Amino acid sequence: MPKLNVCLINDSFPPEIDGVANAVTNYAQIITEKFGSAVVVTPDNPEADDSVYPFPVVRYPSVDMTKLVGYRAGFPFSAAVQKTLEAGNFDIIHSHCPITSTMLARSLRDRIKVPVVMTYHTKFDIDIANAIRGKLLQEEAKALLAANISACDEVWTVSRGAGENLRAIGYEGDYIVMPNGVDFPQGRVEDALIAQVTEGYDLPENVPVFLFVGRMMWYKGIRIILEGLAKLRESGQDFRMVFVGGGNDKDEIVALTEKLGLSDRVFFSPPIHDRNLIRAWYCRADMFLFPSTFDTNGLVVREAAACALGSVLVAGSCAAEDVTDNVSGVLIEENADSMAAKLEELCREPEAMKRIGEAAQRDIYISWEDAIGHAWERYAVVIDNYRAGKYPEHEGMSDEFFHSIAKTMDAYNRSREKQQARVNELRRGYAEIRDGLTGEQEKLKENLLAGQAKIKDELAQFMERFM
């Protein structure tokens, strides 16, 4: 298979950390190492150090909106950015966000005539509902989002559930399920590392340990976990629970833990960025609890599987796709009673937890190398289809729209440069005036000192003559 040059575009990238940024990082690294070459295009971040990557990173101007929406918002429609990307000699463009990144991808396609693939990672209808008030405006936003996605040559989703969510926002085209992988190798870490990482936590031997890794947000199903554990405690079953992660709802989650009387057996660890230390927690636990119906892929479930740790999941959720109940995972209803009943059953059968973990490692684990290998094979098909004219022409308002945005941004940048030049000129003028005044001040000071000395000498002479 020939080597290809891939343009990867996303609205987030390290030092910003989220699941999609992690996916783009792995795509770029593995493509560069094994398949060809890649360039990442993403908003600028003053804390970024892109020299650590073996691939180029093109950053475009951004505004810090982390307090408002949780990330930096980029403005990629400038002639300078377009010119840089046009010279990239790309074979295919792969967008990982259906909004700004996909708009940039479409604009670039118009200029360099290569196909655009878009991967749908996240349930954007929930993001729209959280960001926009008013049903009518929400529906308009969904329609615009669906239209933007429909303008891509091929659409991928990370799970079947993500595809169903695409349908829910109004997308009517075809899509292909292209799962993400995990960056954990299969197997356990050393016992010494497990002991080091878990030191200081009350985790007695032969007492079941449950684990959650991820953002501390209610929509992750954490209330079901805590209320289920409270019921498990009422049954007389001993256990320990560890939450690893941070998030906006953490204080409320800790407060509910205390209210339920679980503080003596439920522990909280801050986010851990060292992947090997995270593996140690997966290796120490007996079951991974992830009753989230929000996530479109549930990579943490596959991370757990890499370490032979089985998961308790909500039946029908995206995270439960490809999981066989009581074989490679455990499926429950989306409520605390079901969680408590299943955990009580598992605690009576520790060997079952071990067996389920081993099956998960065998059946649902997928590495990033394998995942991107599948994507790479599909890239070739997309390129052939595009060159053969099998995709519909995506013309109309997009050409005019993107060109007008580019022109507007260019005009804005020119205006800003002129204003900056004027400011610099004024600063230089001020500096000259300040330096001139400083010089005059020094001369005046010298004259005053000289005058004082002269008066002092004349006074001394007068005193000698007449006294």
Give dist(CA 235, CA 230) in Å, integer.
9
**This prediction's pTM:** 0.76
Give dist(CA 40, CA 37) in Å, integer.
10
Per mean pLDDT, which range of 134-143, 347-356, 362-371 is the poorest?
134-143
Burial class (CB in 10 A: 0-12, 13-18, 19+), 101: buried
Mind listing the pLDDT tens digit for each residue in 5-55? Answer: 999 999 888 888 778 888 999 999 999 999 999 999 999 888 889 999 999
Averaged pLDDT of the chain: 88
pLDDT at 395: 56
Give dist(CA 329, CA 323) in Å, integer.
6
461 in any annotated domain: no
* Spacing of C-alpha 319 from chain mean position: 18
Q: What are phi and psi of 282, to 5 degrees?
A: -60, -40
pLDDT at 412: 47
**Are 206 and 166 contained in the same domain?**
no
**Are 101 and 197 contained in the same domain?**
no
User: Given a cut of 60, is residue 435 above it in pLDDT?
Assistant: yes
pLDDT at 82: 85
Mind listing the pLDDT tens digit for each residue in 381-425? Answer: 999 999 999 998 875 434 455 555 555 455 545 555 666 666 666
408 in any annotated domain: no
Contact 330, 312 (CB under 8 A): yes
* Backbone φ/ψ region at 221: left (φ over 0), alpha (ψ -120 to 50), beta: left
Domain count of the fold of the chain: 2
Higher local confidence (pLDDT), 177 or 428: 177
Q: How confident is the model at residue 454 (pLDDT cuts 50, 70, 90)?
A: low
**Are 298 and 350 contained in the same domain?**
yes
User: Given a cut of 60, is residue 68 above it in pLDDT?
Assistant: no
| 374 DSSP assignment | H
Q: How confident is the model at residue 147 (pLDDT cuts 50, 70, 90)?
A: very high
| 319 DSSP assignment | G
> Within a 10 A sphere around the Cβ of 153, how many other Cβ atoms?
22
Give dist(CA 194, CA 209) in Å, integer.
13
Contact 128, 141 (CB under 8 A): yes
Q: Please name the residue that has the structure tokens 């370490």.
A: 307
**CATH number, domain containing residue 292:** 3.40.50.2000
Give dist(CA 305, CA 401) in Å, integer.
46
79-86 vs 397-466: helix crossing angle, rounded to 10? 120
**Are 267 and 337 contained in the same domain?**
yes
Q: How confident is the model at residue 150 (pLDDT cuts 50, 70, 90)?
A: very high
Measured CA to CA in angstroms, residue 209 lies from 65, 204, 259, 283, 361 at distances of 39, 9, 21, 10, 19
**Are 62 and 82 contained in the same domain?**
yes
**Are 209 and 358 contained in the same domain?**
yes
122 in any annotated domain: yes
**Are 340 and 375 contained in the same domain?**
no
pLDDT at 416: 53
Per mean pLDDT, which range of 128-142, 192-206, 338-352, 388-402 is the poorest?
388-402
Domain that holds residue 74: 4-181+370-394
Through-space distance between the first and last CA atoms of the chain, rounded to whole angstroms: 111
pLDDT at 130: 72
Give dist(CA 93, CA 114) in Å, integer.
7
Per mean pLDDT, which range of 173-182, 257-266, 287-296, 420-429 is the poorest?
420-429
**Are 162 and 307 contained in the same domain?**
no
* Spacing of C-alpha 101 from chain mean position: 14
pLDDT at 452: 67
309 in any annotated domain: yes
